[in-house]
């Protein structure tokens, strides 16, 4: 048996009958009872623990579904496989309603990590610090926008002179943020690749960067990277939890965080998108 299959056997309590690599970090492992689980390896310290805690926190809301978590051990995370289906409007409407319920489940503070999750977590491959705060504009600027802006400048993806427009947006956030809202329970990395359309007709969410935040951030990320039947998702959401007036004008503000993360990870193209979003928000 491999080290991977040993971990799976310990966490599931079942013997392993087969393994299939999906990528360097992912594999499907078949158990002796015929069930298939997905094994994910991450060598970033605490990443598996953070992801497991995030999935459990999302599941605890009893709204949006996630794959069952068998456990984490060191660099390994073991979850159920989700048989794939096709996107559909009815599933999208349900997903929107369920996402509203997830957000309404709330969090103790902006930046609060999931119970049992480390403060030093990740969004994709980028480190993400979960440091609680009470004021969303101040927290979003200090804990989500500026750390990645500094990293992008330090690595040369953004020029120092270009950072001023993003810094100006951060200064204006109290005016740009819209009505104050309580901390929502966020998936935190809600791009279309983390939205699985399952064969049973429901959506499952994977790979969270879960934390307490502003609910419009999850929705802005869905729009930024595209999502099948997005308008149906938003329709279902608004039927349950209408968004505050002017939310469409704030989409760019909430997209700034993931754009800067992607600038740090993937380069100049995302930096230019972030600058465009910041300029648009600052100039109105």
Could you list the active site residues? 189
Contact between 251 and 220 under an 8 Å Cβ cutoff? The reply is yes
Q: DSSP strand E in the chain: where? A: 16-21, 26-31, 36-41, 69-73, 76-80, 120-123, 126-129, 184-186, 195-197, 203-205, 211-213
> Look-up: residue for tokens 């392993």?
16
Contact between 138 and 111 under an 8 Å Cβ cutoff? The reply is no
Nearest to 187, CA basis, from 120, 95, 263, 84: 95
SS3 194: helix
Q: What is the DSSP string of 93-140?
A: HHHHHHHHHHHHT--SSBTPPPTT--SEEEETTEEEE---BS-HHHHI
CA within 13 Å, CB half, 55: 21
Contact between 26 and 82 under an 8 Å Cβ cutoff? The reply is no
Contact between 196 and 206 under an 8 Å Cβ cutoff? The reply is yes
Nearest to 94, CA basis, from 249, 210, 281, 239: 239
**What number of other Cβ atoms are within 10 A of residue 6's Cβ?**
13
């Amino acid at each position: 048996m491999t080290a991977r299959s040993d971990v799976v056997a310990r966490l599931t309590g079942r013997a392993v009958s087969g393994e299939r690599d999906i990528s360097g970090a992912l594999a499907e492992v078949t158990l002796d009872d015929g069930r298939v689980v997905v094994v994910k390896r991450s060598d970033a310290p605490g990443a598996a623990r953070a992801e497991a805690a995030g999935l459990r926190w999302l599941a605890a809301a009893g709204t949006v579904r996630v794959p069952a978590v068998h456990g984490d051990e060191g660099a390994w995370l073991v979850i159920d496989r989700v048989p794939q289906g096709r996107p559909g409007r009815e599933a999208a409407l349900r997903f929107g309603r369920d996402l509203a319920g997830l957000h309404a489940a709330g969090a103790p503070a902006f930046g609060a990590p999931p119970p049992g999750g480390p403060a030093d977590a990740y969004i994709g491959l980028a480190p993400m610090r979960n440091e609680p705060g009470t004021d969303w504009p101040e927290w979003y600027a200090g804990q989500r926008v500026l750390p990645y802006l500094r990293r992008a400048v330090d690595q040369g993806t953004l020029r120092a002179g270009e950072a001023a427009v993003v810094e100006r947006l951060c200064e204006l956030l109290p005016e740009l943020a819209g009505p104050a809202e309580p901390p929502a329970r966020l998936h935190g990395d809600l791009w279309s690749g983390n939205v699985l359309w399952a064969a049973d007709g429901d959506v499952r969410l994977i790979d969270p960067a879960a934390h307490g935040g502003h609910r419009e951030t999850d929705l802005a990320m869905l729009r930024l990277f595209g999502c099948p039947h997005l308008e149906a998702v938003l329709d279902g959401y608004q039927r349950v939890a209408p968004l505050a007036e002017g939310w469409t004008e704030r989409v760019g503000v909430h997209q700034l965080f993931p754009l800067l993360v992607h600038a740090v990870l993937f380069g100049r193209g995302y930096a230019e998108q972030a600058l465009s979003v910041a300029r648009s928000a600052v100039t109105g």
